[in-house]
Amino acid sequence: MLPLPTLAQNLGIAPEHLIQYGRDKAKVALEALEAARARRPRPGKLILVSAITPTPAGEGKTVTSIGLAQGLRKLDRSVALALRQPSMGPVFGRKGGATGGGLSTVQPATDINLHFTGDFHAVTAAHNLLASVIDNALHRGQTRLAPGGVLWKRVLDANDRALRSVRVAVGDPGERLSGFDITAASEIMAILCLAASRDDLRARLDRLVVGFTADGEPVPACEFRVTGALMALLRDALLPNLVQSAEGVPAFVHGGPFANIAHGCNSILATRMALAHADYVVTEAGFAFDLGGEKFIDIKCRQSGLAPDAIVIVATIRALKMHGGMPRDALAAPDLPAIRCGLENLRAHVGAAASFNRPVVVAINHFPTDTDAELALVRDFCAAELRVPCALSQVFARGGEGGTELAGAVLSLFDGADAAAAISYPKLEYVYPDDIPVTEKINTIARRIYGASGVDILPGAAARLVLFERAGFGRLPICMAKTQDSLTDDPKKPGRPQGFRITVRDFELAAGAGFIVALTGKMLRMPALPKVPAAEKIDLAPDGAITGIMGT
Amino acid sequence: MLPLPTLAQNLGIAPEHLIQYGRDKAKVALEALEAARARRPRPGKLILVSAITPTPAGEGKTVTSIGLAQGLRKLDRSVALALRQPSMGPVFGRKGGATGGGLSTVQPATDINLHFTGDFHAVTAAHNLLASVIDNALHRGQTRLAPGGVLWKRVLDANDRALRSVRVAVGDPGERLSGFDITAASEIMAILCLAASRDDLRARLDRLVVGFTADGEPVPACEFRVTGALMALLRDALLPNLVQSAEGVPAFVHGGPFANIAHGCNSILATRMALAHADYVVTEAGFAFDLGGEKFIDIKCRQSGLAPDAIVIVATIRALKMHGGMPRDALAAPDLPAIRCGLENLRAHVGAAASFNRPVVVAINHFPTDTDAELALVRDFCAAELRVPCALSQVFARGGEGGTELAGAVLSLFDGADAAAAISYPKLEYVYPDDIPVTEKINTIARRIYGASGVDILPGAAARLVLFERAGFGRLPICMAKTQDSLTDDPKKPGRPQGFRITVRDFELAAGAGFIVALTGKMLRMPALPKVPAAEKIDLAPDGAITGIMGT
């Protein structure tokens, strides 16, 4: 790893644009983006890492992304990462860190998993300032919102079951049932990640809808006159963070919106900053391709004009067995027929990814229990049936060395074109156009991406949709909130189900982020602590090192 | 102002002990303390700035502290500041910033008033992690605490009326009425400020009492097994922050506990860090001397072994008129008789301060409306009646130049002794010894410091005190929570009341901070927003500057 000023210098970031937070973390001034674009007008190539429907442990998108970037570096390519910052709450709950693993991590992993540079805290503060101002207006009768019409809750970056359902303002005119979401679920987090600039951030904060009047009129946040204060609170949080992988690959780790009720990608500014400074940029989208990949394209790319130049679909032998019907506690045992059957899940995701006219490569995230016969089966399937390259990724155990096969496969997608050359892809086609009805948008996603036969919208949801469309929000893209455990909306259905229908139970409006959330099930916005919270293992050693965060 | 690395270098702080947060803020590693002590074994002289009973606008302790330090610098003395960090919540409410004013400020004032280096956020996160773990244990029936016995609430650094009284865990076994305090009121904030070291921080977190069992047994936080996780969250927050005044005086701005239910002083580590690196250290204590000064000595000094070498009592002509009976909206008009009468309030505070066998100087914080005759009256009173030096402080308008008279007066207290020489003061005598009953301690404070004739303890309070004393906490010092607007416990009684009694309405235990809080009235732990919150004036300019924070 390099001293951070050297890392930045190697990227071409001027010292005056590097704002250090301690020795190993920094923010990069937005001015660096313009400076880099003036220097190298053609941005780098964007490689999107997504996955098949995962096991509960995940397919390893983050570790694969980091390892792929390290592999590209081993092949002497100029490369950077653009990744989400993990949420702190789950670190104390069940999940452990989310900064890769083994020899493919971003560092300082403990800091990134905790306060990092304070961005989540800034989002928490901004979200709750708006909440306090709304409640102050309710208390004083200064708003056309009625207590029952307030949709804006509060947030904390914590796993706290007792805050899910909370009666606030007890004894006050504003008393009502409300609650706290985890900060990653704040619309302000999604807004921060989708903002293209300071001005765009301000415009989005102004127009975010905090509730509806009794007549069904949307009430935008700007009515509460604190957008300037929110901007002040978010001043530094808007700047992308710069750290590095364990092998010294620059990593812009910035923003962490939920992947269900939000779009689940790092910030647009971090992606742009990476693309402006490196020839190849590896990024990821939350959950499997049906959820995260689709939202990456239909929300992040649609709003920003970005487009992936290649798509990596990560799969594990374990997940393929699960999709082939093996019980989750037996996935270490060899079973070729189960894999053969489970490969239909891979086919679905690769098919969806390839439909965007971008080259796709499959990465097998290697586990020690994988057999040669199992790996060969997957490789043969990719070649013969899917007609996409397939590479073994051993980045957890071997770091960048274990990522060169995948890196080579990715580079081969570009046909040996010079890194600086444009690739003449057709313009990225989104799944649906802006100007069709919301129900039609959802139908298109469900049929084309999930393989569903149709969509049912429950009456309550339909009524809310009427409210949103009447208020003029019908042109927004859709943010599907669906289980990550199945192509269907039923987490108990692995593999490649056929003839199923998707049920939309509710809609939510994220007018500042710029999407309508379609909820296909109960989405938990505030996680809880398990019987033995992970916090019990975490400690501060006498030398000041933080120990016990899983995966660090 | 100097580049921060130069500022640190001038203090003798090694580069490896300076951890920068952006260009103009830093933290200092605790190792710098040992290094400095090895280099210059005799610490600097500690100058405590306190005040008379203030007007609602405050007497200007912070601006006087900063200006005095700048004045000492003008007189070529080696000097540093040790100050509290202001709370962010009130910045959006009514109060504006608390980083001095005019030409005597600490910088970057906007950052210090907002996120600064994230210390308040870390305290918030640690406090709420403990709360979430307690509620998780209640939910699962894993604790001997009953929901009704939980005293640990949650905190946010916000002014949020709707969170004062909140029903948490609605529908869960742990459902109960609880609430949020502002972060400055968190016991963890007081603990952070009183911790002498990492080990001491851990021991205090372990022993803080989160509630009582049905049998009246105290339940310490260590039963919830997350002290290590709290330590991880507080790792960086424990390190003193280093910034500078507008004239380049180093300022350790660290910690911000409430001055009513807590002791209201910056951290012990910041004070020690300043004393280890400069010949003269200017610090302040919250509220007037009867509250802040007494707690500085009886809590901060008692727990740390620190002692002031001199005490400055700040007074304004405006406040003296108020104490002499003038209405608050007429304080700009000249009125010698009112001042003559109001000087009795100054006599009370100077008398209390002088009783600790440390030299006292009165600083008149100058306002443009002050007349020469008014100033002469105060000067004469100090010389003839109080027999202490009195100096005019014009630091708001003139910076360090306006502080040289006060700086000279302070230096004269040390009898021309060389800065590095020991002054042979008698050992600091606290107001009361550890081993007398709590009620006797309060009686002693009330009679000796407030001038009361006695103390009444309401029956409910007495019952709680029995609980605390039975549990073995009777030896702790007392943290008086009393109005700052009067020497009595009635904010409507300015001047120098006689023959009054103090009523203790309740007691609270802060076993980790190491004191028992005696509440003499209703103390608001969560401020509210006014009709027009200050947030409405705050904005982010296109150049990235934050505007509209009052006093910055």
B31 Cβ under 8 Å from any chain A Cβ = no
Instruction: Using an 8 Å CB-CB cutoff, list chain B residues near A123.
Output: none
A165 Cβ under 8 Å from any chain B Cβ = yes
pLDDT at B345 over 60: yes
Question: Could you give the CA distance from residue B548 to residue B540 in angstroms, rounded to a whole number?
Answer: 9
pLDDT at B222 over 90: yes
B135 Cβ under 8 Å from any chain A Cβ = yes
If you count them, how many residues does chain B have?
552
Nearest CA-CA partner of B408 in B26, B73, B99:
B73
Query: How distant is the Cα of A532 from the closest Cα of chain B, in angstroms?
Result: 10
Output the CA–CA distances (angstroms, integers) from residue B290 to A496, B132, B449, B483, in the order listed: 74, 37, 6, 10
pLDDT at B435 over 90: yes
Q: Which residues pair with B106 in a beta bridge?
A: B245
A 388-407 near B (Cβ less than 8 A): none
Tell whether B108 is in a known binding site: no
- Which of B161, B531, B546 to mutate: most A Cβ within 10 Å? B161
Q: Whose structure tokens read 């509210």?
A: B528
Backbone phi, psi, residue A510, to 5°: -120, 80
A23 Cβ under 8 Å from any chain B Cβ = yes
Nearest to B170 among A169, A172, A177 (CB): A177
Mean pLDDT confidence for B274-300 = 97
Question: Could you give the CA distance from residue A211 to residue A529 in angstroms, rounded to a whole number?
Answer: 30
Give the pLDDT confidence of B5-24 residue by residue, as tens digits. 999 999 999 999 999 999 99
Give the pLDDT confidence of A356-365 residue by residue, as tens digits. 999 999 999 9
Question: Could you give the CA distance from residue A410 to residue A388 in angstroms, rounded to a whole number?
Answer: 11
A14 Cβ under 8 Å from any chain B Cβ = no
Mean pLDDT confidence for B15-40 = 96
Instruction: Using an 8 Å CB-CB cutoff, list chain A residues near B161.
Output: 132, 135-136, 139, 169, 172
Nearest to A129 among B125, B138, B535 (CB): B535
Instruction: Using an 8 Å CB-CB cutoff, list chain B residues near A222.
Output: none
A 91-130 near B (Cβ less than 8 A): 92, 110, 114-115, 118, 121-122, 124-125, 128-129
Nearest CA-CA partner of A368 in A339, A334, A338:
A334
The pLDDT of residue A11? 97
Residue A462: is it exposed, middle or buried by C-beta count within 10 angstroms (0-12/13-18/19+)?
middle
- Which of B142, B168, B202, B210 to mutate: most A Cβ within 10 Å? B168
Nearest to B538 among A110, A162, A229 (CB): A229
Tell whether B55 is in a known binding site: yes
The pLDDT of residue B417? 58
Element (H, E) at A139: helix A119-140
Partner-chain contact B536 A225, CB within 8 Å: yes
Residue ranges at the known binding site of A for ATP: 55-62
Residue A399 identity: G
The pLDDT of residue B78? 97
- Between chain A and chain B, how many beta carbons pairs sit less than 8 Å apart? 215
Nearest CA-CA partner of B355 in B431, B273, B406:
B431
Question: Could you give the CA distance from residue A64 to residue A68 in angstroms, rounded to a whole number?
Answer: 6
Kindly state the tokens that stand for A530.
């398990």
Q: How confident is the model at residue B422 (pLDDT cuts 50, 70, 90)?
A: low
Nearest-Å Rg of the Cα atoms of chain B is: 23
Backbone phi, psi, residue B281, to 5°: -125, 125
B156 Cβ under 8 Å from any chain A Cβ = yes
Instruction: Using an 8 Å CB-CB cutoff, list chain A residues near B167.
Output: 166-167, 170
Nearest CA-CA partner of A265 in A200, A197, A189:
A189
Partner-chain contact B125 A140, CB within 8 Å: no
Mean pLDDT across chain B, nearest whole number? 95
- Which of A132, A167, A200 to mutate: most B Cβ within 10 Å? A132
Residue partners of B341: CB distance under 8 A and separation at least 6: B323, B324, B325, B495
Partner-chain contact A539 B110, CB within 8 Å: no
The pLDDT of residue B550? 81
Output the CA–CA distances (angstroms, integers) from residue A279 to A136, A305, A426, in the order listed: 50, 18, 20
The pLDDT of residue A417? 58
Partner-chain contact A233 B121, CB within 8 Å: no
Partner-chain contact B225 A536, CB within 8 Å: yes
The pLDDT of residue A423? 65
Tell whether B59 is in a known binding site: yes
pTM of the model: 0.97
The pLDDT of residue B530? 96
The pLDDT of residue A168? 97
The pLDDT of residue A147? 84
Partner-chain contact A529 B110, CB within 8 Å: no
Query: How distant is the Cα of A64 from the closest Cα of chain B, in angstroms?
Result: 28
Q: Return left, alpha or beta for A545; rule: phi > 0 is left, psi -120 to 50 is alpha, else beta.
A: beta
Residue B121 identity: H
B 355-374 near A (Cβ less than 8 A): none
Query: How distant is the Cα of B262 from the closest Cα of chain A, in angstroms?
Result: 24
CB B297 within 8 A of CB B49: no
Output the CA–CA distances (angstroms, integers) from residue A521 to A154, A189, A462, A480, B155, in the order listed: 22, 22, 15, 10, 32
A 183-242 near B (Cβ less than 8 A): 198, 202, 225-226, 228-229, 231-233, 235-236
A91-105, B131-145, B375-389: range with lowest mean pLDDT: A91-105
- Which of A205, A226, A549 to mutate: most B Cβ within 10 Å? A226
Mean pLDDT confidence for B269-278 = 98
Partner-chain contact A231 B19, CB within 8 Å: no
Instruction: Using an 8 Å CB-CB cutoff, list chain A residues near B139.
Output: 161-162, 528
Partner-chain contact B158 A121, CB within 8 Å: no
CA distance from start to end of chain A: 16
The pLDDT of residue B173? 87
Q: What is B232-255 written as a DSSP string?
A: HHHTTTTSPEEEEETT--EEEE--
Tell whether B454 is in a known binding site: no
Nearest CA-CA partner of B263 in B427, B439, B477:
B477
- Which of B124, B172, B538 to mutate: most A Cβ within 10 Å? B538
Question: Could you give the CA distance from residue B463 to residue B442 in angstroms, rounded to a whole number?
Answer: 16
pLDDT at B485 over 70: yes
Q: How confident is the model at residue B94 (pLDDT cuts 50, 70, 90)?
A: confident
Q: Please report, in tens digits, the pLDDT of each residue of chain A (552 residues total).
A: 999 999 999 999 999 999 999 999 999 999 999 999 999 989 999 999 999 999 988 999 999 999 999 999 999 999 999 999 999 999 999 865 689 999 999 999 999 999 999 999 999 999 999 999 999 999 999 999 988 899 999 999 999 999 999 999 999 988 999 999 999 999 999 999 999 999 999 999 999 999 999 999 999 999 999 999 999 999 999 999 999 999 999 999 999 999 999 999 999 999 999 999 999 999 999 999 999 999 999 999 999 999 999 999 999 999 999 999 999 999 999 999 999 999 999 999 999 999 999 999 999 999 999 999 999 999 999 999 999 999 999 999 999 999 999 999 999 998 655 555 556 788 899 999 999 999 999 999 999 999 999 999 999 999 999 999 999 999 999 999 999 999 999 999 999 999 999 999 999 999 999 999 999 988 899 999 999 999 999 999 998 999 999 877
Domains of chain B: 4-117+237-412 (3.40.50.300), 128-233 (3.30.1510.10), 438-520 (3.10.410.10)
Query: How distant is the Cα of A458 from the closest Cα of chain B, in angstroms?
Result: 26
Partner-chain contact A139 B156, CB within 8 Å: no
Query: How distant is the Cα of B97 from the closest Cα of chain A, in angstroms?
Result: 14
